[in-house]
Structure 1
Amino acid sequence: MPADDEALFALTTPGAPEATPLAEPVRPNAPLAVRMRPRNLAEVVGQAHLLRPGAPLRRLAEGGEAASVLLYGPPGTGKTTIARLLASVATRHFVALSALSTGVKELREVMNDARRRHDRQGRQTVLFIDEVHRFSKTQQDALLGAVEDRLVLLVAATTENPSFSVVSPLLSRLLVLQLQSLEQEEVRELLRRAVKDERGLDGSVSLSPDAENALVRLAAGDARSALTALEASADGVTDTGATVIDLPAVERAVAETVVRYDRQGDQHYDVISAFIKSIRGSDPDAALHYLARMLVAGEDPRFIARRLVVHASEDVGLADPTALQAAVAAAQTVQLIGMPEARLALAQATVHLAMAPKSNTVIVGIDEAMADVRAGAVGEIPAHLRYGRYTGARELGNAIGYRYPHAASDGVLEQQYPPDDLVGKDYYRPTRHGGERALSDYLIKLRRTVRGE
């Protein structure tokens, strides 16, 4: 297991029973993030939604059940640590593979070893596969039999949406658990623990409040990043004979531009909030200012691009149909080209969205429709809209009476489309802003024709 494997750090869950400690020793000169890796459930902090009493992950770690899982979350949230805690149950054997260096042949060897271990010793194998989304379909299919028979307890990890990166047969056999970035207070507790713990800095230095705040915001929910920055700061301090890690010490240890981002007291979510609200408020100059602050600070440009894509539909919508195209193009540019050149596409999309006419009718419409569905307003699909191309469909009345819109001269004709209970319900209500002005007038005519009003 490489020394820099992911570690999970979070606030202790009250009343958490301790699992069997992992036997593998940690080198004294190992990185701080490795030395502070939780040894049992009592040291795990965060991911409370997965670790509360009765939650699937807690039952797995306590040996209560043997279900294969897929851990889905951003880097540095503890996927490897969770896998090792699942393996710490006394009768389990732990094997770790990386999708970057493992082929079908190696997988089969692991399966054969697991079968022999199960038959001869009665021990189950915990197979941890990091970056499982990088496995080909053939490699993922090779896991199906062993997972189905519970020959191995598969713990797969991915940073990609499993619905798109994991084949359906394997995904259906896995319990998907989504990990979340640590909260600021959890990172703060982690830093304080590392300063005091004998496995960490053992009280050799202290951390000033300003430096602690900077490290917390710099980490952005990533425990490993927080401890790496802390260790670098501590090394710089001890080299000078000092014992206090202050803000200048952090500045010397990490990128100064990132520290300036933190030094101003701008929390990660505060800046992105101001950025989006400036775009929503049609102030391109303020929006560019906040974009610059994030870029200079080293904010992940993919995060900024994702927010622009969301904002294009949420706050601009069909008042400017080209806004979403501009945002998606910027996101693709970030992926294809990267920084620093991608800053131009991000700036272009930012100005475009800020100057675009605004409408929130898209989000209002879909949220109202989803609220009605959740409340039970589903109703029967009108018979003439149902699928009718199978034997016996017409005997059931399916597809009978359907009127083909292209047969009408203008492509629109009177016909009921929603269930009976939703006839006349308007979800999309366009404004008079930008392109929605024309849509509003046209929609009135469409509804009159379709509804026969």
Structure 2
Amino acid sequence: MTLFEPPAPLAERLRPRTIEEVVGQRHLLGPGRPLTRTLASGRLGSLILWGPPGVGKTTLARLLARAVDAHFIALSAVSAGVKDIREAVGEAERERGRGRRTLLFLDEIHRFNKAQQDALLPHVESGLLTLIGATTENPSFEVNPALRSRARTLVLEALTPEDIRGLLERALADERGLPGVTAQPEALDLLARLADGDARRALSTLEVASTLADPVTPEAITEAFGRHLPAMDKNGEDFYNLISALHKSVRGSHVDASLYWLARMVEGGADTGYVARRVVRMASEDIGLADPQALRLAIAARDAVEFLGSPEGDLALAQAVVYLALAPKSNSVYTAWGNVLRAVREGETLPVPVHLRNAPTALMRQQGYGKGYAYYFDDPEGSFEQAYLPDGVHLHLYAPTGEGWEARVRERWRKLQAAHGEALPDEPAAPSDADTPS
């Protein structure tokens, strides 16, 4: 950097230099986890990193390239084309001549069209290029099946508020960050919540806020955060109070209150994309199978918001909120999912019964895999008589409510329980405090 060059943004200055500095993604980087095993082996295949913005996709790609001593080429699908791919291929061939492999990082891979993705295929298949694609969109819909089949998809998770809080503290202490800047604990707590799991947004906001107040205050965070945060009103109700009021009004089937809190957020400058995502969550968490159409309408509203923007997309959001408020309510799937997660995390690991196992090879068939499986359409009675869990194991996780669609299928559920020889369970346990919806 010369005297006349501005410093790199805080998020870039604090980019992790080692895997140990990476925040979050413990499901990928913890002991025995996929990326940990990859780094230990030194063998790296093509990957697609799918996750929300600001969770470290680019950083992980760089660190993986360094770990396997690969030549690193970074392209963005927003601006790159087939010509850039050809140039990357030529560069990779030169590196191969020097005995070095090449890792091509393609950011926003979902923006490449089919022809552009197809241009990558032969070079990924031959091993000339190890591809790491990054995307915020579901690869199942946005990445060609042929390319997807040649790359393992890893899902990255949004950072938790605790992760963000630790990152902000590091930014204030690290010499690469904002040494000498201080912040009130309340300000860091507020930013950790508002960042919505996005490390880049959190660090950028902190950097701006540090120019507005010393020490950094919650008011400075609010000002620096800008349009992502609705304006505070005279009663001090902030963004998360409003989103909570909206969610609870929808859950309570109060249409007018739901519309009011939605309008307060939209007019206050809330990120309508975030609000739309929360509305999708409401459809699944609080309505679920009482009205299966609710989730479809909520997702359609989210797509309309993304396609039209504000204010045109706001009406679709209002339509979804009214529908969800009017809909019958059920948290049966939410409760069942909490129950099964506890069973998986806290209980013993159950083996797959031999007759349910996949048997793609002769050796597996010799070991009895799949033997005795009763295919429902050939043997309905036998299908019900066979076990779908290990002998002696009974899991009672889901029970339909008497609301909406679930009320209509409840009798079928009871008959299925009886057909499988299962006694009707008591009501499933309520979610723990940690699982209680906001």
Instruction: Tell me if both proteins adopt one fold, taking TM over 0.5 as the criterion.
Output: yes
* SS of structure 2 residue aligned to 1:156: strand
Report the counterpart of residue 134 of structure 2 in structure 1: 157
1:124 to 2:95 alignment: no
Report the counterpart of residue 235 of structure 1 in structure 2: 211
Alignment partner for residue 81 of structure 1, among 36, 59, 73? 59
1:143 to 2:114 alignment: no
What's the CA shift string for 1:60-115, capped at 9, x where partnerless? 44662121211111111111111111222474211111112222232123213212
**CA 63–84 in structure 1, closer or farther in 2 if over 3 Å, else same:** farther
Report the counterpart of residue 390 of structure 1 in structure 2: none
1:218 to 2:194 alignment: yes
Separation in 1 of the partners of 2:336 and 2:152? 33
Report the counterpart of residue 185 of structure 1 in structure 2: 162
Separation in 2 of the partners of 1:359 and 1:291? 22
1:49 alignment partner AA: H
Report the counterpart of residue 308 of structure 1 in structure 2: 279
For 1:45-444, list aligned pairs within 5 A: 45-61=23-39, 64-89=42-67, 91-119=69-97, 121-203=98-180, 205-237=181-213, 243-255=214-226, 258=229, 275-288=246-259, 290-292=261-263, 294-295=265-266, 298-309=269-280, 311-312=282-283, 315-316=286-287, 319-320=290-291, 323-324=294-295, 326-359=297-330, 419-421=384-386, 433=403
Asked if structure 1 preserves the Cα contact closer than 8 Å seen for 2:42 and 2:67, the reply is: no
Separation in 2 of the partners of 1:214 and 1:363? 28
**CA 60–265 in structure 1, closer or farther in 2 if over 3 Å, else same:** farther
Shift of 1:127: 0.8
**CA 47–267 in structure 1, closer or farther in 2 if over 3 Å, else same:** farther
Once the two structures are overlaid, the 10-residue window that deviates more, 35-44 or 340-349, is: 340-349
1:31 alignment partner AA: P
1:220 alignment partner AA: D
**CA 428–417 in structure 1, closer or farther in 2 if over 3 Å, else same:** farther
Q: What is the percentage of aligned positions where both structures have the same residue?
A: 48
1:246 alignment partner AA: T
Shift of 1:133: 1.2
**CA 419–363 in structure 1, closer or farther in 2 if over 3 Å, else same:** farther
2:64 alignment partner AA: L
1:357 alignment partner AA: P
**CA 419–376 in structure 1, closer or farther in 2 if over 3 Å, else same:** farther
2:192 alignment partner AA: V
Report the counterpart of residue 431 of structure 2 in structure 1: none
Separation in 1 of the partners of 2:9 and 2:64? 23
Structure 1 unaligned segments of length 5 or more: list them. 4-26, 238-242, 381-397, 403-414, 448-453
**CA 345–105 in structure 1, closer or farther in 2 if over 3 Å, else same:** closer
Asked if structure 1 preserves the Cα contact closer than 8 Å seen for 2:228 and 2:270, the reply is: no
1:215 alignment partner AA: L
* SS of structure 2 residue aligned to 1:206: coil
**CA 361–210 in structure 1, closer or farther in 2 if over 3 Å, else same:** closer
| TM-score scaled by length of structure 1 | 0.70
Asked if structure 2 preserves the Cα contact closer than 8 Å seen for 1:59 and 1:65, the reply is: no
Once the two structures are overlaid, the 10-residue window that deviates more, 147-156 or 74-83, is: 147-156
Separation in 1 of the partners of 2:170 and 2:338? 43
Once the two structures are overlaid, the 10-residue window that deviates more, 290-299 or 277-286, is: 290-299
Separation in 2 of the partners of 1:63 and 1:305? 42
Separation in 1 of the partners of 2:336 and 2:381? 20
Separation in 2 of the partners of 1:332 and 1:127? 31
Separation in 1 of the partners of 2:407 and 2:67? 64
Asked if structure 1 preserves the Cα contact closer than 8 Å seen for 2:230 and 2:238, the reply is: no
Separation in 1 of the partners of 2:324 and 2:30? 42
Separation in 2 of the partners of 1:367 and 1:249? 38
**CA 365–188 in structure 1, closer or farther in 2 if over 3 Å, else same:** closer
What's the CA shift string for 1:330-381, capped at 9, x where partnerless? 234313322233333323322222223334567789999999xx9868979x
Separation in 2 of the partners of 1:202 and 1:104? 44
Separation in 2 of the partners of 1:299 and 1:417? 55
| TM-score scaled by length of structure 2 | 0.72
1:335 alignment partner AA: E
1:34 to 2:12 alignment: yes
Separation in 2 of the partners of 1:145 and 1:274? 53
2:88 alignment partner AA: V
Once the two structures are overlaid, the 10-residue window that deviates more, 166-175 or 138-147, is: 138-147
Separation in 2 of the partners of 1:202 and 1:289? 43
Separation in 1 of the partners of 2:192 and 2:104? 33
What's the CA shift string for 1:106-151, capped at 9, x where partnerless? 21232132122112x1111111111111122222222223223322
**CA 378–335 in structure 1, closer or farther in 2 if over 3 Å, else same:** farther
Separation in 2 of the partners of 1:302 and 1:50? 27
> What value does the CA root-mean-square deviation take over the aligned residues?
4.4
1:304 alignment partner AA: V
What's the CA shift string for 1:273-303, capped at 9, x where partnerless? 6544432332334434553465456554334
**CA 293–40 in structure 1, closer or farther in 2 if over 3 Å, else same:** farther
What's the CA shift string for 1:187-237, capped at 9, x where partnerless? 11111111122212112x210122212221221111111111111111223
What's the CA shift string for 1:379-425, capped at 9, x where partnerless? 79xxxxxxxxxxxxxxxxx99x99xxxxxxxxxxxx87964449xxx
**CA 433–256 in structure 1, closer or farther in 2 if over 3 Å, else same:** closer
Structure 2 unaligned segments of length 5 or more: list them. 344-349, 357-373, 388-396, 417-438
